[in-house]
Structures are given as C-alpha cells and as structure tokens.
Amino acid sequence: MKRYSFFILVFSLILVACSDGKLSSSRAKELVEDSLEAKPLYETAHFSLGEVRYRTQKDGDKIKQLKKLEEDDYISIEELKVKKKWLSNDSVWVVNIKCTDKALPFITELKENRAKVKTIEYILTEEIQIEQKNEKVATIIATLQKKETPFGFLSKKNNVQDYIQKKFKAKYQEKEWILTK
C-alpha cells in the first residue's frame, strides 16, 4: 500500500509540474491589465498656458475648442483684449489661459507657460492572442482601443485607426508568468 501511495504522489507531482508551463488567456489578460495600470499608454501634445495670442479667423477652430474646454471646466480663459488688425479681416484675441483641477488627470507635465497633456489614452479590449514559443517564453498580443481625451484636438496625427496592437513578452519564472521588458 505504501508503494502505491508513493507512485501516486510522484505521478501527481509530475502532472502538476508539466501543466504549469501553459499560459492561459485569463492569466495573460491579467498580466497586460497590471502592466497598463502600472504604466498606462497614451499620446501627448503640448498646450500653451498664460498669455496667448490667437488670430480669430486663422485659429478659429482652435478657439472654438478652447471655449468648449472652458465650458466643460478644464481650463479658465481670461480675455485680456481683442484688437482689429489694420487693413485685415482678422483680429487678434489675447487671452490668459489656466488649467483647472478637472484637467489634472490629463496633465503629464506642467510648467509655467506650457502643459503636456494626454490627447489619446489606450484601453485594453477583450481581444488577446498568445503565441507561446516554448514552456518558458510567450508573446501576448493585445488589442488596445484608442480613447480621445478632452484635449484630443491637439493631436497632430491622423487617427485613422480606432485600435492598435501591442506585443508583451512573458516569461515563466519560479512557478509563475511575468512580463519582461
């Protein structure tokens, strides 16, 4: 009887040791979520603060976006002066722009006259593919959806695609899967 229990114990240890090498899709998704939570992916642009001059016709679209940001309470705009340019259809709009507390989650860097703001944030979708090369190494391909922030109009890129794919390298170490750089 002791001999059989010894063989059963050894056999079950071998089964457990062999089954740990496969990366499950739920564990892969968990690894990617933890990585994105620790270091979120986003695109940024610079935003002028303080006294700024705009031309009412040339910068008309930007002025509309700034007024919308003010309505939504992301920035405060203090109009200093509006003056008509001589022999021109265009006017100069001089304003003092300040960020409000509501804009803080979107600001990555703040200086005296300039702020670096998030324009697009990437959010994990349900789609995850796993390419496992062997028992110790795998590549996780995650599909991330683009989400435009209130400062999205500052983005200079043409956002043709709504999704991107990002690869994460995973490694099996000490009985668990971890992401590597």
Confidence of residue 4 (pLDDT cuts 50, 70, 90): very low
Cite the beta strand spans of 19-90 per DSSP E: 42-48, 50-55, 75-84
Q: What percent of the chain has pLDDT above 90?
A: 51
What is the domain count for the chain?
Answer: 1
Would you say residue 84 lies in a domain? yes
pLDDT at 18: 46
Would you say residue 72 lies in a domain? yes
Would you say residue 102 lies in a domain? yes
Cite the beta strand spans of the chain per DSSP E: 42-48, 50-55, 75-84, 91-99, 107-110, 114-132, 137-148, 163-173, 176-180
Segment among 68-72, 84-88, 93-97, 113-117 with least mean pLDDT: 84-88
Higher pLDDT, 1 or 142: 142
Would you say residue 12 lies in a domain? no
Asked if the model's pLDDT at residue 24 lies above 70, the reply is: yes
pLDDT at 146: 92
**Residue 179 bridge partners (DSSP):** 170
Contact between 132 and 143 under an 8 Å Cβ cutoff? The reply is no
Asked if the model's pLDDT at residue 43 lies above 80, the reply is: yes
Torsion on CA atoms 130, 131, 137, 142, rounded to nearest 10: -40
Confidence of residue 9 (pLDDT cuts 50, 70, 90): very low
Tens-place pLDDT, residues 103-113: 999 999 999 89
Contact between 72 and 153 under an 8 Å Cβ cutoff? The reply is no
Would you say residue 6 lies in a domain? no
Domain range for 74: 21-180
Asked if the model's pLDDT at residue 16 lies above 80, the reply is: no
Q: How far apart are CA 55 and CA 53, in angstroms?
A: 7
Q: How far apart are CA 162 and CA 179, in angstroms?
A: 25
**Mean of all residue pLDDT scores within the chain:** 84
Would you say residue 2 lies in a domain? no
List C-alpha distances in Å: 13 to 4, 17, 22, 23, 172: 14, 6, 16, 19, 18
Full strand arrangement of the beta sheet holding 50-55: 50-55, 91-99, 75-84
Torsion on CA atoms 11, 16, 17, 22, rounded to nearest 10: 140
